[in-house]
Amino acid sequence: MARHTSSPRSRPAPSRPTWVLDRFALALYPVVNAGRGAEVGLSPAQWRQLGAALARVHATPQTPELTRLVGREGFWPSRRELLRELEAVVAGPTGDDPVAGELAAFWQAGKDVIDALVDRADRLGRQAARAPSQHVLCRADLHTWNVLVDGGGQLWIVDWDEAVLAPPERDLMFVVGGIGHGLVGPSDTKHFFEPGNIVELARRSPLPAGPVP
């Protein structure tokens, strides 16, 4: 039995492959028997292949249909609005729930650090939103848990539900250091950027460096 479903790189079904229901888009793809890139690893050639594939994604024409289905980067952390609700919960009584009590104690002990991180993220988001940038189609969650490797060594990018029109860095941040220890090494990043065209995209859409106001 196949372990995962494939990405839009897959060959569509012979009849209608997509449906739009209300504000949701549904797509039908064949099943791929493959392993997760984070578990099986990517070879230098596969990192180059991933870089070239992302360059093609970024070059996707922004048709009216695409811009209708895909949102634009808001430079606002996902579920940021839940923080106030969570702060109210951990500040109140936790009753006999040991897990809630442990979370509340942890949160209160690190509240100054958490508040500083949230404030910095908000300021960075406002700074990035003001910066001129070229928006392209981004996968927006391009880590190797979302890259499958089939038996022939072919890569499949999956889970496109977070696709967004954003600066190229929205994808590139996942291959420059990655989001977790051991997912991306310096040599992996080097091979990923070897196609060159992704680097050029980033150069034409620079986000500002330096201190956060």
Q: Give the H/E segment covering residue 37.
A: helix 37-40
If asked whether residues 90 and 172 sit together in one domain, one would say: no
Q: Residue 19: inside a domain, yes or no?
A: no
Predicted pLDDT at 69: 82
Q: pTM of the full predicted structure?
A: 0.72
Q: Residue 213: inside a domain, yes or no?
A: no
Q: Residue 2: inside a domain, yes or no?
A: no
If asked whether residues 62 and 102 sit together in one domain, one would say: no
The encoded tokens of residue 10 equal 């897959």
If asked whether residues 87 and 123 sit together in one domain, one would say: yes
Which residue numbers in the chain have pLDDT < 70?
Answer: 1-17, 178, 195-213
Of 62, 29, 66, 21, give the one whose Cα is nearest residue 157.
29
If asked whether residues 102 and 187 sit together in one domain, one would say: no
Q: Residue 3: inside a domain, yes or no?
A: no
If asked whether residues 58 and 161 sit together in one domain, one would say: yes
If asked whether residues 52 and 95 sit together in one domain, one would say: no
Q: Give the H/E segment covering residue 36.
A: strand 34-36
- For position 49, which CATH number holds? 1.10.510.10
**Which residue segment(s) compose the domain that 109 sits in?**
82-128
Is the backbone of residue 140 left (phi > 0), alpha (psi -120 to 50) or beta?
A: left
If asked whether residues 142 and 124 sit together in one domain, one would say: no
Q: Residue 21: inside a domain, yes or no?
A: no
Q: Residue 20: inside a domain, yes or no?
A: no
Number of domains in the chain: 2
Q: Residue 24: inside a domain, yes or no?
A: no
If asked whether residues 87 and 107 sit together in one domain, one would say: yes
**What one-letter code names the amino acid at 11?**
R
If asked whether residues 152 and 58 sit together in one domain, one would say: yes
If asked whether residues 121 and 66 sit together in one domain, one would say: no
| Per-residue pLDDT reduced to its tens digit, 179-204 | 777 789 999 998 998 866 555 555 44
Q: Give the H/E segment covering residue 204.
A: helix 197-204
If asked whether residues 142 and 187 sit together in one domain, one would say: yes
Q: Residue 209: inside a domain, yes or no?
A: no
If asked whether residues 55 and 152 sit together in one domain, one would say: yes
